[in-house]
Copies of this chain bind each other. A is one copy, B any other.
Amino acid sequence: MSKLRVSSFAVSIDGYGAGPSQDLDNPLGIGGVALMEWFFPTRTWQHMHGNAGGETGVDDDIAAHGLAGIGAWILGRNMFGPIRGSWADESWRGWWGEEPPYHTPVFVLTHHARPPLRMAGGTEFRFVTDGIQAALQQARDAAGDRDIRLGGGVSTIRQYLRAGLIDELHLAIRPVVLGTGEALFAGLDLPALGYETARYVPGVRATHVFLRKRAP
């Protein structure tokens, strides 16, 4: 069966997966951009954004691997945009312009229904209002035998972890302190939820830790 996995999700050493006060100017929260500074220099990220060049090496290999074999994505509503509450209109079409870097169906968790949004390059945002299990089932149906990638954010990952639904969790531990923001681990007992370290790969700008769910 296809796996539900989190890949390339960056966390500070003090456990924050985003800075505080996300808005249009700070999609990763204030100071949160420091979390992504391992990813921006990679060839994978540069190519996603239409640029030539970029660094190769461990960080790039792992970033590329995280994108391979994905048949559907799941995103929390705040990963899709900074708007809260009901959709005032349908003018917000994501952070990524007309050709988002997903190229698959993307299931967006929200409490507010909205028609699907077909973008260039094969991405289609589908808005799911009946919870994380329903989104996972729809993503499984769409992905076939490919994997499903859970993009985040922190609150969404925590919900799926608590439910024990994530099969693999790759964290890029960034050697920075944020001090405040969205805490990934607070109050979550990952060993009790069945997670253990499968692999540890030091990179140039992050330390990569792969957690997996033990077989029941």
Contact = CB atoms under 8 A, between A and B. Distances in A.
A189 B30 CA distance: 14
A200 interface: yes
B177 A207 contact: no
- Number of this chain's copies in the assembly equals 2
Interface stretch (A7-15, A102-110, A141-149): A7-15
Question: A interface, how many residues as a size bin?
Answer: 20 to 34
A88 interface: no
Interface stretch (A61-69, A111-119, A120-128, A179-187): A179-187
Interface in A1-43: 11, 13-15, 31
B202 A177 contact: no
A173 B211 contact: no
A12 to B, nearest CB: 9
B186 A190 contact: no
A41 to B, nearest CB: 15
Interface in A169-216: 171, 173, 175-180, 185-186, 188-193, 195-197, 200, 202-203, 207, 209, 211
B200 A190 contact: no
A178 B11 CA distance: 16
Nearest to A178: B191
Contacts of A188: 14, 179
Interface string A140-171: 00000000000000000000000000000001
A211 B177 contact: yes
Nearest to A169: B177
Q: Which of A178, A197, A211 has the most CB of B within 10 A?
A: A197
A14 B207 CA distance: 14
A184 B172 CA distance: 20
